[in-house]
Structure 1
């Protein structure tokens, strides 16, 4: 195996730029979905169940991380978990791959939270129209969380099909098997 490419979105874009892109993405998703849902769903909105909204808001991030883990759970012996604190109080859950896994499996792990959680929030806004503003906020917040995952997925889609992914201090390394040049020349 050899390293085909190293992907480090944090280094490529910078933390501040990713944060800015994420905030812009949150506002775009909120604006677009809020206007769209209000075109189809009319009626009063309720501010009841605000405590439920806060609970779901707080549980969205751990659920997001759990959904990242589920597709690669069978590789749990290849994963390392840690908790890092941002600004001294905000806990961030980290999951690092220290042995290669298949690119397709890792790609599923990246996009699974985006598809499942956002689908739940969209369905919730449609089926419970009096709480559509809560679901719109949750959808926008979660979409902002997913931006970095989507950036990594975008880069992974451009890699060879049979590649493996391994995480190092430099970023995600895309590993591909060596090809035998003698068999390629004789073919």
Structure 2
């Protein structure tokens, strides 16, 4: 195996640029989703259940990280969870994979939170239109969290079909088999 390419989105784009992209995508998702729901449903909005909404906002990030773990459940021995505190209050959860993973499996790992959580939020917003403003904010926040995953997926889409992805301190390495001589 040899390294075809190393991807480090934080180094390639920088924290500020990633944060700005996430914020803009979140604002765009909120505006489009909230507007669409208001056009479809004419029910009056309710501000009841504000505390569960706050708890849902706080729970989206850990749930997002847990959803990354679901496709890798079979190889849970090679996974480490790292919990760091940033700015005293904000915990940062990192999932480290110790072994190379097939490209398709890794892409599935990246897209799982986006598909599961966003689908659940959209279904709940259809079932409870009186709280569509809460669900629009949750969807926007979660889409903002998914931006780095989607950027990684975009980079991986251009890699060779049968590549393996290995996580290192410098980012993700795309490994391809060496041709036989």
Could you state the TM-score of these two structures normalised by the residue count of structure 2?
A: 0.97
Whether 2:154 is the aligned partner of 1:154: answer yes
Q: What is the CA-CA distance between 1:58 and the residue it aligns to?
A: 1.2
Question: Equivalent residue for 2:67?
Answer: 67
Question: Equivalent residue for 1:131?
Answer: 131
Q: What is the CA-CA distance between 1:98 and the residue it aligns to?
A: 2.0
Single out whichever of 120-129 and 6-15 deviates more from structure 2. Answer: 120-129
Mapping of residues 115-130 of structure 1, within 5 Å = 115-130=115-130
* Runs of 4+ more than 2 Å apart: none
- Gaps in structure 1 of 5+ consecutive residues: 182-187
Distance 1:71 1:163 in 2: 18
Whether 2:118 is the aligned partner of 1:100: answer no
Mapping of residues 14-25 of structure 1, within 5 Å = 14-25=14-25
CA RMSD of aligned residues (A): 0.9
Question: Equivalent residue for 1:184?
Answer: none
Q: What is the CA-CA distance between 1:78 and the residue it aligns to?
A: 1.7
Asked which structure has the greater CA Rg, the reply is: 1
SS in structure 2 at match of 1:153: helix
Question: Equivalent residue for 1:3?
Answer: 3
- Gaps in structure 2 of 5+ consecutive residues: none
SS in structure 2 at match of 1:18: helix
Question: Equivalent residue for 1:165?
Answer: 165
Mapping of residues 26-105 of structure 1, within 5 Å = 26-105=26-105
Between the two proteins, the alignment pairs up a number of residues equal to 181
Contact 1:41–1:126, Cα closer than 8 Å, also in 2: no
Distance 1:7 1:83 in 2: 23
